[in-house]
Amino acid sequence: MVSIQKKESMGSRDLFLETLTKLGCQYEFAEEEDDRRIFFVYQGEHFFVDARNDWNYIQIWDTHWEQVELYDIDEFSRIKKVINDSNLNNSITTFYTINEEGKTIDVHSKSIILFVSEIYDIGEYLKLEFSEFFRTHQYVMLEMARLRENEQKCNNHMN
């Protein structure tokens, strides 16, 4: 009988930090000692990740990447529709929060992915996940523009 021993793998947090370094990204830790967040910039976009060594997954967050005015009913209606459509058509989860103080609707995205050392070429895997965030941004922006254009056409035909 052949015995196969599994190589001790690196924890997801340590692996993520190593992978970020290999991708040339600098990072910072959250200031609170028990906070697991890691802040970094990738291709000009600000992200943070929740990562623990005792969990095989990481949560990637891209927050406040778009805003619409809270009291612009038409834009609010569009962004809700587009976010719902985006969640049906993209792998990244997109959602909004209401910022009463700033009088804005803020758009955010997140994903939860498996992140273990057994993943082949984990740097490329992570870059692919980041590209999904950018694809989601593009989807939301293009759909918002398309809705505005269609509404404008309808309004022009009615006049």
Q: Compute the distance between CA of residue 128 and CA of residue 63 in angstroms, rounded to an integer.
A: 19
Residue 52 confidence class, pLDDT cut points 50, 70, 90 = very high
H or E segment to which residue 74 belongs: helix 73-89
Cβ neighbours, 10 Å, residue 133 = 24
Percent helix, strand, coil in the chain, to 5, is 40, 30, 30
Q: What do you get for the CA distance between the two ends of the chain, in Å?
A: 83
Q: Compute the distance between CA of residue 132 and CA of residue 128 in angstroms, rounded to an integer.
A: 7
- Please say whether the beta carbons of 43 and 134 come within 8 A: yes
Q: Which fold has domain 12-158?
A: Yope Regulator; Chain: A, (3.30.1460)
Question: What are the domain boundaries of the chain?
Answer: 12-158
Estimate to the nearest angstrom the gap between the alpha carbon of 110 and the chain centroid: 4
H or E segment to which residue 51 belongs: strand 45-51
Instruction: Kindly tell me if the per-residue pLDDT of 5 is higher than 80.
Output: no
Q: What pLDDT digit, counting tens, does each position of 17-31 carry?
A: 999 999 999 999 988
Cβ neighbours, 10 Å, residue 12 = 22
- Please say whether the beta carbons of 20 and 27 come within 8 A: yes
Q: What pLDDT digit, counting tens, does each position of 125-154 carry?
A: 999 999 999 999 999 999 999 999 988 877
